[in-house]
Every structure is written in structure tokens, then in C-alpha cells.
């Protein structure tokens, strides 16, 4: 996973890009406390677990991928053992 800082609010997360459309984000702090977008959703009664993403963070990650600042992960599952 690679570190990314949101260009809108400076929240830091870890990101793994598995393809152009598959991105995994690991929050390093509580999303509702560190991200204004998630905080606003929580304030309207929608917990962060039900919010798919923050548009500003998604834009930051997309720009970082286009600019080559984060690269696509080449992680793969190990091959199964023969006979199993």
C-alpha cells in the first residue's frame, strides 16, 4: 500500500491500486474525524461504514495514479498446491 494525502483536507490514507477501477483504501485515522466529507455524512446520520467514498479523496487518488505517484499493485494469490 502506498501513502496518499487528500488534496482537499490533508487526510492521509494508504492506497493499493489493483486496476484502473479497483482501489483499496486503508484509513490511518477515523474517517468521520479526519475527513470533512465523512464527517458531514455522519452529521446527517449516515455512519462512515455506509459511505462508499469521499469524492475529493477519490479525485486525489485518481490524479496520483494518472501522474504516476502511485502504481498498480502486482499482488497475486499463491497458486494452489497440486492435488488440493
Each residue's pLDDT tens digit, 5-18: 999 999 999 999 98
Among 31, 2, 34, residue whose Cα is nearest residue 18: 2
Global pTM value? 0.79
**Cell numbers of 30, please?**
477515523
Strand (E) or helix (H) holding 23? strand 23-27
Q: How confident is the model at residue 49 (pLDDT cuts 50, 70, 90)?
A: confident
What distance in Å separates the CA atoms of residue 4 and residue 22, rounded to the nearest whole number? 16
Domain spans of the chain?
Answer: 2-66
Amino acid at each position: 500500500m502506498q501513502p496518499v494525502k487528500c488534496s482537499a483536507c490533508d487526510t492521509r490514507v494508504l492506497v493499493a491500486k489493483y486496476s484502473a477501477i479497483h482501489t483499496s483504501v486503508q484509513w490511518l485515522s477515523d474517517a468521520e474525524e479526519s475527513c470533512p466529507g465523512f464527517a458531514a455524512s455522519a452529521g446527517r446520520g449516515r455512519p462512515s461504514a455506509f459511505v462508499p467514498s469521499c469524492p475529493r479523496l477519490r479525485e486525489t487518488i485518481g490524479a496520483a495514479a494518472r501522474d504516476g505517484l502511485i502504481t498498480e499493485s502486482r499482488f497475486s494469490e499463491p497458486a494452489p498446491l497440486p492435488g488440493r
